[in-house]
């Protein structure tokens, strides 16, 4: 399902509706227990979802390929495709890498939002994007909260160059100040010598906040990255400039990243290194081999991507993030997740534990994860009607299921000895869809699957 982050209405996607689910409508993705070793091996790598190359996952190309696609499907694409996509939506997009900014003010959702959810840290968003006929992807940067206005777009080579210069700028920002005395003629407020990279002629006069160490502004090789995919003016492309500033009383410097001398963002050295790491991962993902191509007959199918199964009359399509244990999403959820501010909620029913003496009352344990990189996977528990009474056997069964969920989340419990899960007899009704999912999982695990 898709999950709204605050601006858009959640509609029918609220947790209250889960409480009314019947186990007969739940398609269990496995018909055999998941031991801790299997969960650690399969579930954990699948939820490392920054970019496709980091997960090492593959998927059948025909599961995501519409008629209009040119060339193979990139492994990093998490956009989800359909035959009836508009021309503007006929593109590949990766999951967005997000970084919270320590030196930017919070975003205010407005006075109508409760105080505990009104303010949110500012973020920088970066993602891979490739248009229908482009030979290679580009990287898009957003600094607005909802990632609606592109700040700038850079080519893969420019992103690699930017990553290297971010690391160099971080090293300057982390360099300790010299312990020696200031040079002769220094202003009264300067108590130590300048760092090796400072080229500033410090004035005695001026504001307190202007008492900074600044590098040589003409050092283009160190500070400038040309943006060949942006608009050019006066026979010169737009550019990014990285400048390190350090106030004489600060323990670290800061890295200013601006576009063509206009307003930009300010990073700590640690954030500059983190952004460099994200850029390098995205570049590696963009260079990874694509999914195998499918025959023309399969690509030109009028039906488009094939659903995994139907749940309550609604088609469930393969997870566009290629998370192995995810039970799939409806077309509406995939389309909603494309909108800024929305994310996908991935889920898999671990098991249902029956209440004592009442086959229609149960506790259901679901493994869930969303696209918020700052939040790990979690177990979500629901009960039928008002609740469920569990005796000793039911409690032991529930503990077993929760241990399996914990092993999948934490991944360090391979030594646990787990009993088999308690499976409700009514779950066998979903055996047809279960086998469909197992066939899909087998295809996902086959690197040469078509």
The pLDDT tens digits for 338-368 are 887 788 888 888 888 888 777 678 888 998 8
**Averaged pLDDT for residues 203-221:** 79
The pair of three-digit structure tokens given for residue 64, joined into one six-digit string: 């995501």
Domain assignment present for 119: no
Banded pLDDT at 60 (limits 50, 70, 90): low
Domain assignment present for 398: yes
Domain assignment present for 242: no
What's the total number of domains in the chain? Answer: 1
Q: What is the pTM of this model?
A: 0.71
User: What are the pLDDT digits (tens) for 410-445?
Assistant: 763 323 222 233 333 333 223 223 333 333 334 334
Domain assignment present for 83: no
Q: Which residues are 126's β-sheet partners?
A: 97, 141
User: What are the pLDDT digits (tens) for 285-343?
Assistant: 999 888 776 554 444 444 566 777 788 888 888 888 888 778 889 999 999 988 877 88
Q: Give the per-residue pLDDT at 52.
A: 32
Q: Give the per-residue pLDDT at 200.
A: 80
User: What are the pLDDT digits (tens) for 284-295?
Assistant: 999 988 877 655
Range(s) of the domain holding residue 312: 1-64+305-450
Domain assignment present for 213: no
Q: Give the per-residue pLDDT at 288.
A: 87
Residue 279 has pLDDT above 90, yes or no: yes
Domain assignment present for 315: yes
Residue 37 has pLDDT above 60, yes or no: no
Banded pLDDT at 370 (limits 50, 70, 90): confident
Per the CB < 8 A criterion, the answer to whether 74 and 59 are in contact is: no
Could you tell me which of 285, 259, 76, 263 has the C-alpha nearest to residue 162?
259
Could you tell me which of 273, 277, 280 has the C-alpha nearest to residue 166?
273
Domain assignment present for 206: no
Q: Which residues are 43's β-sheet partners?
A: none
Domain assignment present for 137: no
**Averaged pLDDT for residues 252-256:** 94
Q: Using CA atoms, how far apart are residues 291 and 156, in angstroms rounded to an integer?
A: 20
Residue 28 has pLDDT above 50, yes or no: no
């Amino acid at each position: 399902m898709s999950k709204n982050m605050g601006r858009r209405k959640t509609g029918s996607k609220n947790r209250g509706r889960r409480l009314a689910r019947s186990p007969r409508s739940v398609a269990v993705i496995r018909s055999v227990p998941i031991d801790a070793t299997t969960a650690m091996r399969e579930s954990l790598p699948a939820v490392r979802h920054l970019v496709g190359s980091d997960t090492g996952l593959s998927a059948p190309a025909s599961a995501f390929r519409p008629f209009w696609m040119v060339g193979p499907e990139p492994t990093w694409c998490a956009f989800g495709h359909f035959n009836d996509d508009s021309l503007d939506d006929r593109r590949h997009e990766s999951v967005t890498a997000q970084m919270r900014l320590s030196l930017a003010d919070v975003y205010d959702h407005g006075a109508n939002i409760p105080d505990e959810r009104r303010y949110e840290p500012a973020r920088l968003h970066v993602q891979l994007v490739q248009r229908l006929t482009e030979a290679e992807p580009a990287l898009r940067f957003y600094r607005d909260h909802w990632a609606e206005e592109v700040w700038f777009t850079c080519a893969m080579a420019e992103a690699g160059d930017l990553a290297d210069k971010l690391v160099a700028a971080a090293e300057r920002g982390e360099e300790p100040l010299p312990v020696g005395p200031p040079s002769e003629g220094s202003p009264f407020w300067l108590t130590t010598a300048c760092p090796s990279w400072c080229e500033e002629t410090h004035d005695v006069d001026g504001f307190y906040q202007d008492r900074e160490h600044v590098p040589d502004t003409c050092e283009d090789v160190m500070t400038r990255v040309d943006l060949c995919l942006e608009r050019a003016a006066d026979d010169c492309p737009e550019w990014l400039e990285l400048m390190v500033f350090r106030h004489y009383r600060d323990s670290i410097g800061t890295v200013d990243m601006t576009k063509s001398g206009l307003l930009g963002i300010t990073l700590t050295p640690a954030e500059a290194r983190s952004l460099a790491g994200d850029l390098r991962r995205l570049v590696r993902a963009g260079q990874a081999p694509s999914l195998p191509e499918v025959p023309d007959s399969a690509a030109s199918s009028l039906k488009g991507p094939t659903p995994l199964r139907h749940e309550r009359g609604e088609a469930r399509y393969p997870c566009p993030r290629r998370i192995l244990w995810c039970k799939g999403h409806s077309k509406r959820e995939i389309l909603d997740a494309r909108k800024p501010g929305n994310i996908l909620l991935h889920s898999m029913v671990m098991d249902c534990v029956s209440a004592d003496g009442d086959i229609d009352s149960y506790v259901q344990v679901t493994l869930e994860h969303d696209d918020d990189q700052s939040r790990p996977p979690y177990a979500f528990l629901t009960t039928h009607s008002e609740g469920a009474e569990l005796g000793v056997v039911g409690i032991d069964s529930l503990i077993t299921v929760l241990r399996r969920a914990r092993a999948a989340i934490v991944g360090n419990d391979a030594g646990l000895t787990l009993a088999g899960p308690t499976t409700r007899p009514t779950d066998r009704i979903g055996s047809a869809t279960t086998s469909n999912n197992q066939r899909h999982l087998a295809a996902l695990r086959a690197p040469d699957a078509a």
